[in-house]
Structure 1
Amino acid sequence: MDFHCHLDLYPNAREVCAQAVEKNMFTWLVTTSPRAFSATSKVLGCHANVLITPGLHPEIVHERYGELDNLLEQIKYAPAVGEVGLDGSKRFQHSYEVQRKVFAAVVAQCVNVGGRVLSIHSRQAVKDVLAVLDEHPGFGTAVLHWFTGTAAELKSASDMGCWFSIGPAAFNSASGKALAKKLPRDRVVPESDGPFAQVNGATVMPWSSDHTAELLAQAWGVPVGEVKLGLEFNSRRLIGLIHAVG
C-alpha cells in the first residue's frame, strides 16, 4: 500500500506502475498539476488498484497558478485530491500568498462538492494549513503527508482528526523518528513519496510499506506483525472514505 507516490515521475514510470499494480493492494498516485493529472490519467490510468488524483503542488504554484480553474473542475469528478497544500520554507516564501489562495480555493471546492480526501503538503506551514481546513467545515478528510511540524502542531492536527501518511525516508532524521512515536496509531497509513524520497541513497519504491511497518514497530515498541495489521486496517478504512465519495 502506498498513500502518496509520484508514480508518474519515476524515470521508468510505466514499468514501476506495472510492478505497483502487481505488488500493491492500493497505490495513490498524487499529481503535481492539472495538466500532469490529465496526461498521467491517459498514460497510466485504468488500473483498479491505482488511484490518480488532481493536484497543484505548492512548490510550483507560482508557475501553474493559471491552471487553478482546471483543478477546481477536476475536483468535481475525482474522489480524492493531491498533492496540494502549503510550503512555508524560505525557498518558496515568494509564492506563499498565492499558495494560500490556491489551497483555500481547493479546500472550498471540496466543501462545495460534498467533501474529499486530500493528500496535503505542509512543510513549515502546518499552522496555516490547519487554519484553512478549520475555516472550511465539511471539506472531507485531511491526510498530512510526511509530517515535519512540531510536536504541538502534531497534537493540533491529530485533535482535528487529520490522518498521516509516512514512509521510510521520514525516519532519516532524529526529529522524524521523534514525531513518528507520537502519531495517532489509528490514523497512520504508509507512503513512499517516491521517486523524491531516498533512504541510504536509494530511491524509495511504492511497495515500501513493509519497511515502514518495521520502522514504526521500532518507534512504537510493538511487534512488527501488529503494526502491519494496524496499517492494513487503517488503509482499508481510508480507502473506504475515498470510495464513499459520490
Structure 2
Amino acid sequence: MAAQVTGTPTAAQVPDEQNGTRNKVVRSILDHGPSTAAELALRLELTQAAVRRHLDALAADGIVEPRDQRVYGSRGRGRPAKVFALTDCGRDAFDQAYDQLAAEALHWIAQTAGGGEVGEAAVAAFARARITAQAEKYHAALESVPPEERTSALAAALTEDGYAATARGAPSSAGEQLCQHHCPVAHTAEKFPQLCEAETEVFSQLLGTHVQRLATIAHGDGVCTTFIPTAQPKKPGRTVKNSNTSNATNVNEAGRNPA
C-alpha cells in the first residue's frame, strides 16, 4: 500500500484528486528513482505541464528536489536534463523504521564492545547477522534460478521487503545494475556504513560473483546501485554466518561509493 504524502503545509489546501496524483508522482519516483518530468508524464499518462505543476508543489513542500541528471559514459551536447528526487522528508513518508532508536542501539553496541575498531567490528558483526537472517528467503528465491536471471530474482525478492528494487543492464559495461530505490534504514546507515557493507557482502554470496557498490542512498545518492558482472558461474551460496570479517568473499569496496 502506497504511503500518503500528507501533513505538509499546503496539502490540506488542494483537492483530494490533486493529492492523489501527487502521491502517484512521489510513488513513481520512489519506484523508479530520480526522474525527469517527461519520464513521469509517460509513466503516469499525464501531460508534462500537469506533471510540472505537481512537481513544483511537491518541491515547495520539501517532498522532492530538482537535480542535474547523472550521465554515465560520454554525454551529448547541451545541459543534462533535470531530474526530481525524493528528499529526506519525502522518504520519511514511506519510512516506518525507527531511525533514532536504531542508531542509538548500534552506538550502544559499539561502546559496550569497547569503542574504536573493536566497537566498529561489533557493529559489523551485528549488521552481518541481521542481513544473513533476512537473506535466507532470498537464497530460496535464487536457488533454482539460472545465472542470467538471478539479479532480477534478487530484485523481486528485495522489492517484497520494501526496497523497490529493479535490475537493468549496466551502461557501457558487461554486467547488470541492481538498483534499490528505497532504503528503510538509510538514515541509520549514514552513521553506520557497516549496514551497507554487510548487505553488499550478502549480495555477492547470493549471486555467486564479485559485486561492487557504486552508490548508496545513505551516501546522498538517489538510488542504491550495485554492479554485477555478467559472468556468474557459481551457484548462489548461503550467506556466511561467522561474524569474522575475513570470511567475506568476492566483495569489492562493499557498501562504499568509489572515490
TM-score range, shorter chain: under 0.3
Normalised to the residue count of structure 2, the TM-score between the two structures is 0.26
Which structure carries more helix by proportion?
A: 1
Task: With a CA cutoff of 8 Å and minimum separation of 6, indicate the structure with the bigger relative contact order.
Answer: 1
Normalised to the residue count of structure 1, the TM-score between the two structures is 0.27
Q: Report the structure number with the largest CA radius of gyration.
A: 2
